[in-house]
Amino acid sequence: MSTYQVIDAKDRAVLESLLNQRAASDAISTYYALEHPARKVQLYACLGSGGKPSSFLVIAQTGMDLFRTLVLPFVVSAEVLNQLMDIAIALWPVAIAGGAILAAGHYARKGFDKVVGSVKGKVFEFKRL
What is the arithmetic mean of pLDDT over 6-22?
A: 92
Query: Each residue of 24-63: pLDDT tens digit?
Result: 888 888 999 999 999 999 999 999 888 899 999 998 888 8
The pLDDT confidence band at residue 19, using thresholds 50, 70 and 90, is very high
pTM of the model: 0.74
Cα distance between residue 99 and residue 90, in whole Å: 15
Domain boundaries, the chain: 3-126
Whole-angstrom distance, CA of residue 55 vs CA of residue 101:
19
CATH fold, domain 3-126, is: Aminopeptidase (3.40.630)
pLDDT digits 0-9 by tens, 105-124: 544 433 344 334 444 444 44
Please say whether the beta carbons of 43 and 57 come within 8 A. yes
How many angstroms separate the CA atoms of 58 and 87, rounded? Answer: 12
